Structure 1
Amino acid sequence: MTSHYDLVVVGAGPAGESAAQMAANLRYSVALVERDTVGGAVVTSGGAPTKTFREAALYLNGFEKEAIYGISLAAPPEVLFRPLTTRAHEVSAAMQQATLDRLQTFGVHLVAGSARLEDGHTVLVRSTTGEETRLHGERIILATGSRPLRPASVPFDDPWVFDTEEIMEISGRPRHILIVGGGPVGVEYATIFQALGVPVTIVDTAPQLVAMMDEEISARLEQVFRRRGTEVITGTGMASTQRDGDQLRTILTDGRELRPDALLFAAGRSVDVTALSLDTAGIEIDERGRVVIGERGQTSCPSVFAAGDVTGPALASIATDQGRQAVCGAFDLNFSVHVDRLPASAVYGMPEVARAGMSEQDCKSAAIAYEIGRCELGSTPRGLIAGEEGLLKLVFRREDGALLGVHVISQIASELVGTGQAMIHGSATIEDVLRMAYSTPTYTYGYKLAGLDAMLRFDPDVLRSMRLPSEADRV
């Protein structure tokens, strides 16, 4: 039996869910195929679990608050571990159910099983019981995501060696954990284990933690890590690791030897499309196994489109946009075809770090003259009340005062960065940043203070030549 649909989507992560929901909302008939859990890594091992761990650790541990009030209300670390893992599983289950409810509301037909292409219009789905179903789609969108990178040199068969999906199932609190990878997931889990009282060593081949962030922000994050006793080793990687009694013996590429009793490998994700039989539809992949797409998500097969990590691992927010874009490309729509070229990115450690737009390093590389405005968030009324430190950093173009970038390290950096992202989208200048009436006491008030700091660095003649207010009559 073959069922016919306007659209068949393979993969129910952020990209696939977004594509299915948008197509269904536009009254196309949609089938969505998923072999595992709807919601993808965001629900199972990435976004929800790590952020839940973070929130629970902050609440149960009173992380660093004893330094402010002089007393500790935290539960002992050995008591914390089980409630944290239980809560993370509860949130993942709730998010999965919310995803299922949304798909049902939109009228998407969910099909469970593994998929492969028979041609450019037919998807064969095999269930766990071996039952096969054929789905015919006028258009097909591939959104099968990515998985944690698992190099053959890493002994994942060891019960205390984990990838970023397996770490959710850790059975107890380790005495010392080594985290290989200083990107978002590595940093997030490093801070979680810090809050649980576990000594952490974090290793990364890049010259700084969270290499996608502004250098000054990354340096501040590293200072926080070191102050808490975490060992940070950058500019080197892991050469080998093996079991040695009740410890692991790990050799770094610079010759150093480490002796953790647990290891989390968090150094990237990979794409594997072998099971999809892409050659049956003539779909091109690149040298790293990723599906090659055009500007509207189209593959080399006219009826097949792709979105999300299967085209190259990226942020979940970008994958969501790409799913929407692929639907527009598939049905030749101009309604919402563009992917945000100025996404905000955040790392949910303790503290968080976030960015939107250009950094100092970007400006230097592009030969753009710029000025910087900074606000130490700990000196704002809200920061003094809460006893929280942080930095809000704004990057302005020197010639006209245009806001080019915003960079934050704070307990709520992921929330603060959105204000700056919206300003950049609206072509805001330093005058726009200054004239907004921000509520106080709030951390957002830091934008005004950072703007004032930047004004001190601008040449007064340059400011006068801006003919302020620029577009103050808009609001």
Structure 2
Amino acid sequence: MSFDYDLFVIGGGSGGVRAARIASGEYGAKVGLAEESRMGGTCVIRGCVPKKLMVFASAFPDAIEEAQAYGWDVQAGAFDWTRFRTRLEAELDRLEGAYRNTLTNAGVTIHDERAVIVDAHRVRLASGQEVTAKHILVATGGWPFVPDIPGKELAITSNEMFHLPALPKRALVVGGGYIASEFACILHGLGVKVSQFYRGAQILRGFDEEARGHVANAMRARGIDIHCGTDVMRLEKTASGIRAVATDGTEREFDLVLYATGRRPNTTGLGLEGLGLTLGRHGEIPVDRFSQTAVPSVYAVGDVTGRINLTPVAIREGHAFADTVFGAKPTAFDHGLVASAVFTQPELGSVGLSEEAAREQEPIEVYATAFRPMKTLFAGKQDRVLMKLIVSQATRKVLGCHIVAAEAGELIQLAAVAIGMGATKEDFDRTVAVHPTMAEELVTMRKPTRTA
């Protein structure tokens, strides 16, 4: 059978773009790609990139305060949100153009419209045109989830955060994951009075308990009003803002309510059920280790599969798919030991097992230290850094590393290399410290804090 394309990709985010580029540019496949929104997907347009730029912007008040302590005669003026947002939007336009150029230069045909799957080898575009493909890759990512409560239309999600006409004076962030916690810190750093509601017992579920507690305490010390065990029952419009009626019996008024209560796979209306595929509980597409669905010609990568919702993971999955299907190099991406960073203030970097997960698996030793870092100690601040290693008693391998500190995301990337290579605690001990740094504490902890 003759096909219009060797591969048709639905979704122009990081995973889909990587798969399309490698399949076409490196392996010579004829590739089409459809994107109904902006090229670049969640990460570039409404996720990692604009969020990290907001993180940078929100950190300057601390930097100015520290500069004063170090003898600099500097004063913080007012933050100009409109000026920042204008530059942010220009940068996103530049990045979207770069993504388009990457695809075009690789020979990929771009369709700027929605696409749905008709059958195992056929896709229908919003224009009504139908195209055939030997292989179809679904890479449509995720979408913010807002619970169905009265007044939900009064809330915004992370999608809208980067396009606010003005910053609020009072904001409520609902959720306890990394997106909620990051935006709570961003808004606070930009001068907004922030409250955060989370129905669980502690924010950042899934991360090491000691590390997440350290982050929560630091956020509270900065002035963020975190309420755990609390959820919103309803939202009501008032003359001066939005009233949030909470499960703890309180009623508070805010200028903005941001829901960051999780993301769901963006699979609604794609035609997947018509293929006979049974989706997961939240709409995720079940795939095997080669990202192949139960329909042999249909694959899926990225957040839409509900595996690990991180941009670098989607990129690696997309690349592995192209190597497998078009490069004759069967490649299954290993989802173990994926490092991650939470860009709160302070940041949390993590790779490998938490203390809780590790002790369920085998006997362990825990090495941990908390201290005031030199930079902010000199400035008279009370910040504390946490460094933590989880070690197997049997093999001596470092099973996990958790860092709470400024620039923890930068530090954990390097620790991930060592741990991915199977480094033991003795390998860490043999490494000479770089002094004076925060990171030297990772190689100077000689005695375990506890065993489990």
TM-score, normalised relative to structure 1: 0.86
**Mean alpha-carbon deviation: is it higher for 112-121 or for 335-344?**
335-344
Aligned partners of 1:3 and 1:55: how far apart in 2? 47
> 1:178-193, aligned counterparts within 5 Å?
178-193=172-187
Identical positions, percent: 28
Q: 2:385 aligns with which of 378, 390, 397?
A: 390
Does residue 1:342 correspond to 2:337, yes or no?
yes
Q: Which amino acid aligns with 2:353?
A: M
1:292–1:155 CA distance, 2 compared to 1 (3 A): same
Does residue 1:247 correspond to 2:244, yes or no?
no
1:80–1:351 CA distance, 2 compared to 1 (3 A): farther
1:457–1:239 CA distance, 2 compared to 1 (3 A): closer
Q: 2:395 aligns with which of 394, 400, 418?
A: 400
Deviations 1:126-170 (A, max 9, x none): 2xxxx3433321111111111111333253543xx3111012121
Aligned partners of 1:92 and 1:9: how far apart in 2? 22
- Extract unaligned runs of 5+ from structure 2: none
Structure 1 residue 244: Cα displacement:
2.2
Aligned-partner SS, 1:264:
strand
Aligned partners of 1:351 and 1:203: how far apart in 2? 19
Deviations 1:32-69 (A, max 9, x none): 11111111111121101110011122246636526743
Q: Which amino acid aligns with 1:42?
A: C
Aligned partners of 1:204 and 1:7: how far apart in 2? 42
Aligned partners of 1:63 and 1:100: how far apart in 2? 38
* 1:203 paired residue number: 197
Aligned partners of 2:438 and 2:102: how far apart in 1? 34
Does residue 1:362 correspond to 2:357, yes or no?
yes
1:74–1:383 CA distance, 2 compared to 1 (3 A): closer
1:444–1:107 CA distance, 2 compared to 1 (3 A): farther
Deviations 1:333-360 (A, max 9, x none): 4453223311011111221112100111
* 1:27 paired residue number: 28
Deviations 1:264-296 (A, max 9, x none): 011111234232222443333223222222222
Deviations 1:9-48 (A, max 9, x none): 1101122112112212222222111111111111121101
1:332–1:226 CA distance, 2 compared to 1 (3 A): same
Aligned-partner SS, 1:276:
coil
Aligned-partner SS, 1:86:
helix
Q: Which amino acid aligns with 1:169?
A: H
- Extract unaligned runs of 5+ from structure 1: 459-475
Structure 1 residue 197: Cα displacement:
1.6
Alpha-carbon contact 1:374-1:449 (below 8 Å) kept: no
TM-score, normalised relative to structure 2: 0.91
Q: Which amino acid aligns with 2:299?
A: F
Output the aligned Cα RMSD.
Answer: 2.6
Alpha-carbon contact 1:298-1:330 (below 8 Å) kept: no
Aligned partners of 2:441 and 2:105: how far apart in 1? 41
1:418–1:383 CA distance, 2 compared to 1 (3 A): farther
Structure 1 residue 377: Cα displacement:
5.9
1:305–1:63 CA distance, 2 compared to 1 (3 A): farther
Aligned partners of 2:69 and 2:355: how far apart in 1? 33
Alpha-carbon contact 1:57-1:84 (below 8 Å) kept: no
* 1:287 paired residue number: 281
Aligned partners of 2:193 and 2:122: how far apart in 1? 52
Number of residues of Structure 1 aligned to a counterpart in Structure 2: 446
Does residue 1:144 correspond to 2:140, yes or no?
yes
1:390–1:74 CA distance, 2 compared to 1 (3 A): farther
Structure 1 residue 385: Cα displacement:
7.3
Does residue 1:435 correspond to 2:435, yes or no?
no
Structure 1 residue 185: Cα displacement:
1.2
